[in-house]
Amino acid sequence: MSSSASLSLDRIRSTLATESLGQTLYLHQDLPSTNTEAAALARAGAPHGTVVIAESQSSGYGRHGRAWFSPPGLNIYCSIIVRGMGGTLSLSQWLSWVPLVSALAVTEAIQQTAAVSLSLKWPNDLLLHERKVGGILCESSVSTTNDPVVVIGIGLNVNVPPSSFPEELQLIATSLVEASRQPIDRNRLIAQLLLDLEQCLGELRSSG
């Protein structure tokens, strides 16, 4: 599959095997930030499992508001609205655990779809050969005491050539294609990522 293959709702849905994550799915050519868009949808009452994806971000950000390199048509920028995780754990506890289980789900999905193994750097970095290939950003949105709402933002450098990174990132960032040596099907990876994330969140909910 060409590295320039566009994201497609039909292609994602054709392999999506989740019960809730991604059943409501939005795909944009460009957004300031998928997390910002998902938070707005959450405030408007969007259901659990709503997913926002963009081909590019004009104001993507990571932890502490750091800018996230978001070129068009090559990577994955998506955010998931998670509801119904209330129970014995508080919102602060969920925000501590959700980034970890999300990162585990992402690494499993990448292993299954691209045969690339990543390592984790607490609290939210995904590393390939000690260089950053992705990150997880979890933010609380509207919530009640018994029903916290969390937006899980996932950014992955997938098919961007390492030489295309800005000079200040070339020694510290990389992409999955550098390890796979062939373009990765982003549509299939998103579908697998959502399935693995749904399973990991289910286990977290059961344990909480």
> CB within 8 A of 67, min separation 6: which ones?
59, 60, 61
Query: Contact, 77 vs 71, CB < 8 A?
Result: no
Q: Which residue has the higher pLDDT, 20 or 88?
A: 20
Hey, what domains does the chain have and what are their CATH numbers? 9-207 (3.30.930.10)
| Planar angle of CA 15, 16, 17, nearest 5 degrees | 110
Query: Contact, 131 vs 44, CB < 8 A?
Result: no
Place of tokens 């014995």: 88
Which pLDDT band, with edges at 50, 70 and 90, does 93 fall under?
confident
pLDDT tens per residue, range 112-156: 999 999 999 887 899 999 999 999 999 887 655 567 789 999 999
- The answer, as to whether pTM is greater than 0.85, is yes
pLDDT tens per residue, range 6-31: 999 999 999 999 999 999 999 999 99
pLDDT tens per residue, range 43-53: 999 999 999 99
Which amino acid appears at position 89 of this protein? L
